[in-house]
Chain A
Amino acid sequence: MIVFIIMLILSMISIPLIYHLFNKTGLKILFILYYLLSVIFLFKNVNVFNIDFSIMIVPYVSILSIIYIFTEKLNIKDMKKNIFMVSSYILFIIILIIMFLLYSQSVTDLVTTNLNQMLSKNILLLVLYSIMTVISFYSTYKIYNIIKKSSDVLFINISLTTILIGFIDCILFNIIVNIGIIGLDAAIKLGLGNYLFKIVLSIMFIPVIYYMINRRKSL
């Protein structure tokens, strides 16, 4: 539990800290770094407060927070430019991951053998996660903008967006990728755990987003 709290605090602090040190460029790098970490953390499910969930939720919520900040601070033209830039880097990363899998491993190395087994067992998870993130990021941006038109309260906007998108990127996603590995009941439990933590973490990130949005300095 303590480790989880430290991880959460580090993720929360990193957003304003990186922006303070490296401006908008830093935030873009942080976005891509958290994407990479979320892909790695996909392979680890943890138990905190007796709830099971995937640890990838922490970097994932950090990415969504950066999307909210960009949506609030940038105009549509800059937002599109940033989305295109980040997407091209993510595409590059995906191609490199495929190449990484294609390299024929050294026969004597046990770590690489374990790595290959883990990746081949969870290949569906990797592929669907890449597709899901694109859908999820885009729908988060769209739904947040729709909700924003009828409400000015940041808390309501973020909570509602998270609750709506969570059905797809937590519950549905977990059921599809895990049903073949751990069964339907366990997949639903894991999905609900992810959903619950996503909502709680999104609410915890609101002060950070609020601070970033209300800075005088423009992005």
Chain B
Amino acid sequence: MINVILLIFEVIFSYVFLLYTYKKYKEDGIYIWIVIAFILSSLMCIKHIEINNINMSLGIGISSTIYIANNILIQKKGNEYIKNNMIMLVTFSIIFVCLLILSGGMILSDFNDITSLTYDNILFSSVKYILANIISIIVGLYVNNYIYYQLRKIKNKIWISNIMSALIFTFVEVMIFMLITNFNSSSLYVMMMSLVIRYVIKIIILILGTYVIYIANNFRERL
């Protein structure tokens, strides 16, 4: 139960902070938010929690806010700025992953060697989760951008674009994440259960995010 409460708090806190940065720093705040949330979710996904007796990795709450931030940008700036945003995400994730992996390849000092050994152990056991998170979010964002933008062109209703695109890209994103992290390591039943619960939680967070896009859109009119 504590995990569910913390997850709700994490989502609310992230959305409030996203709106705060958008109001205070405009697009700059959104760009920074997307990259920072992306890196944070990649780090958080190494920890596993249990919800309803189903094992799942963390980072769901904060990674969902990336898509909402992205949709706020599409609403305001259209598709052009999103390309720049994707290049930004890829560049920063390359720097992040390279430095992280390089840190694991260095000769340990004799001082506090247990902590350093634990660090290496955690890093190499978690690389697949970090990479899975990065790949799945980048692919998910690409799919989201395309669907959201097309729906917006047909009918400029925020709730239709957001919910419809969320239903599709979340499936793609969760599928990629689960395939990379659980491939050959858990039974099909466990994998399917994790997939379903991850998908449902993400959809709920993203549907709640529709309200955040509306609020951000109102900021735009006032600013």
Interfacial chain A residues near B122, Cβ < 8 Å? 111, 114-115, 118
B35 in complex: contacting residue of A6, A29, A52, A102, CB < 8 Å = A29
> Binding site of B, secondary structure by majority: helix, strand, loop or mixed?
helix
A window 157-190: CB within 8 A of B:
178, 181-182, 186, 189-190
Q: How far is the CA of A118 from the CA of B44 in the complex (A)?
A: 15
Q: Beyond A3-B102, A111-B125, A112-B48, is A47–B108 a contact (Cβ under 8 Å)?
A: yes
CB closest residue in chain B, given A117: B118
- Chain B: number of interface residues, binned into ranges: 35 or more
Known interface pairs A44-B119, A186-B111. Does A37 touch B96 (Cβ–Cβ under 8 Å)?
A: yes
Contact of B115 among A28, A95, A111, A121 (CB under 8 A): A121
Instruction: Say if the beta carbon of B36 comes within 8 Å of chain A.
Output: yes
**Does B72 reach chain A (CB closer than 8 Å)?**
no
A44-B116, A106-B48, A117-B118 are contacts. A33–B109 as well, Cβ < 8 Å? no
Do the beta carbons of A21 and B99 come within 8 Å of each other?
Answer: no
> Contacting chain A: which of B1-9, B140-148, B150-158, B199-207?
B1-9
Residues of chain B contacted by A48 (CB below 8 angstroms): 106-107
The 7 closest A-B pairs by CB, nearest first: A45-B109, A52-B109, A106-B48, A109-B48, A46-B106, A43-B119, A7-B102
Kindly state the separation between the CA atoms of A58 and B122 in the bound complex, as whole angstroms: 21
In whole angstroms, what is the CA distance A25 to B21 when docked? 13
Please give me the residue from chain A that is nearest to B104 by CB atom: A44
Residues in B with CB closer than 8 Å to A4 are: 106
A87 at the B interface (CB under 8 A): no
A10 within 8 Å of B (CB atoms) = yes
Closest B residue by C-beta to A56 = B103
Q: Is A104 an interface position by the 8 A CB rule?
A: yes
Closest to A102 in B: B6
> At the interface, yes or no: B112 with Cβ under 8 Å from chain A?
yes
Given contacts A29-B92, A43-B119, A118-B115, 13 further A-B contacts (CB under 8 A): A14-B95, A18-B95, A28-B32, A36-B36, A36-B39, A40-B43, A43-B116, A88-B20, A100-B44, A105-B48, A111-B121, A111-B126, A118-B122
B110 x A103 contact (CB < 8 A): no
> How many Å lie between the Cα of A36 and that of B62 in the bound state?
16
Whether B95 and A178, one on each chain, are in contact in the complex, defined by CB atoms closer than 8 angstroms, is: no
Name the distance in Å between B85's Cβ and chain A's nearest Cβ: 10
For residue B6, which residues in chain A have a CB less than 8 angstroms away from its CB?
99, 102-103
Q: How large is the interface on A (under 10, 10 to 19, 20 to 34, 35 or more residues)?
A: 35 or more
Query: A95: which B residues are within 8 A, CB to CB?
Result: 13
Whole-angstrom distance between the Cβ of B154 and the nearest chain A Cβ: 32
With both chains docked as a complex, state the minimum distance between the C-beta of B137 and any C-beta of chain A, in angstroms.
16
CB-defined A-B contacts under 8 Å, sample of 23: A3-B105, A7-B103, A10-B98, A11-B99, A22-B84, A29-B31, A29-B88, A33-B95, A36-B39, A36-B43, A47-B107, A47-B108, A47-B109, A53-B109, A85-B32, A88-B21, A92-B36, A96-B10, A96-B40, A102-B2, A103-B58, A111-B46, A112-B48
**Complex interface residues of chain A between 36 and 88 (CB less than 8 A to chain B):** 36-37, 40-41, 43-48, 52-53, 55, 58-59, 85, 88
